[in-house]
Amino acid sequence: MDLYKSLPGPMIRCPIEIAEMVKYADNAWHATKVAFANEVGAFCKGLGIDSHEVMNIFCQDTKLNISTTYLRPGFAFGGSCLPKDVRALRFKGKEMNISLPLLDGVLASNRSQLDRGIAMVKAGATTKRIGILGFSFKANTDDMRESPIIDLITQLVSENYDLRVYDKNVTMAKLTGANLDYIESKIPGIGKLMSASIGDVLSHAEVIVIGNNSQEFGEIANQLRPEQKVVDFVRMKSIETGHKNYNGIGW
């Protein structure tokens, strides 16, 4: 370790397998960034826009664009912005006859992650009793538009799984506009699946799904029965370390 003492930056010690995988992740990420910037350039040229000016502004956002914010393995993305805008770029690209293979693959990759999560949940549910904690697309919002958890619920309902769902931020009586239209079109009668408390979900389910990182879900470890299985899409550490029948989607 003395060899590195004079070098700037933090010293990180980790298993060899982690160090090797970091190197691959580094280069795959760098390659992805180059491909992304080039597709933005091709798209901008098709519209007569200065791509360098676009990306110069893009790179000044260090809160989201140049940050760790979206670089944690977890469940599929959703919400009212990301799927819609990726689809818009792909549609316009096809209209201009511009190849955008990286952007074309984003939604397919996202669907693969959704399918991976559905398979994990079904694998543990021998009695088909499933409880879902958190089904808005992120914690502390009632916005369910294009929430991947809603897609999960839709799939399970279509296969006659016995569901109970809970999200303190979602009350059918308070939903309005596009949000209400979306949930009613995706899951007619979802109100019948909704529980008033976490306890109701826990008492019902053989498999518990952690759908978003609402703080209250991190406090259920001591309420779980030993035989209950947990499928975690957000990595609740208190449950990961405190429950033997735990399974994380990417860890």
Asked if residue 10 is part of any domain, the answer here is no
Q: Is 81 a catalytic residue?
A: yes
Asked if residue 81 is part of any domain, the answer here is no
Assign 127 to helix, strand or coil. coil
Sheet with 207-210, edge to edge strand ranges: 162-166, 129-133, 207-210, 229-232, 246-248
Spatial separation of the C-alpha atoms in residues 58 and 33, rounded to whole Å: 13
Q: Give the residue numbers spanning the domain of 243.
A: 111-248
Report field, pTM of the whole predicted structure over 0.85? yes
Asked if residue 86 is part of any domain, the answer here is no
**Amino acid 185: pLDDT:** 84
**Amino acid 176: pLDDT:** 77
DSSP string, 57-96: HHTT-TTTTTSSTT-S--S---SSSHHHHHHHHHHHHHHT
- Tens digit of pLDDT per residue, the chain (251 long)? 778 878 888 889 999 999 999 999 999 999 999 999 999 999 999 999 999 999 999 999 999 999 999 999 999 999 989 999 999 999 999 999 999 999 999 999 999 999 999 999 999 999 999 999 999 888 888 888 899 999 999 999 999 999 999 999 887 767 778 777 888 888 888 889 999 999 999 999 999 999 999 999 999 999 999 999 999 999 999 999 999 999 999 99
Which residue in the list 14, 44, 59, 81 is annotated as catalytic? 81
Q: 142 and 170 in contact (C-beta within 8 Å)?
A: yes
At 33, which amino acid appears? K
Tell me, yes or no, whether 115 and 219 share the same domain: yes
Take residue 95 and report the two structure tokens written for it: 């209209």
Asked if residue 45 is part of any domain, the answer here is yes
The count of domains in the chain is: 2
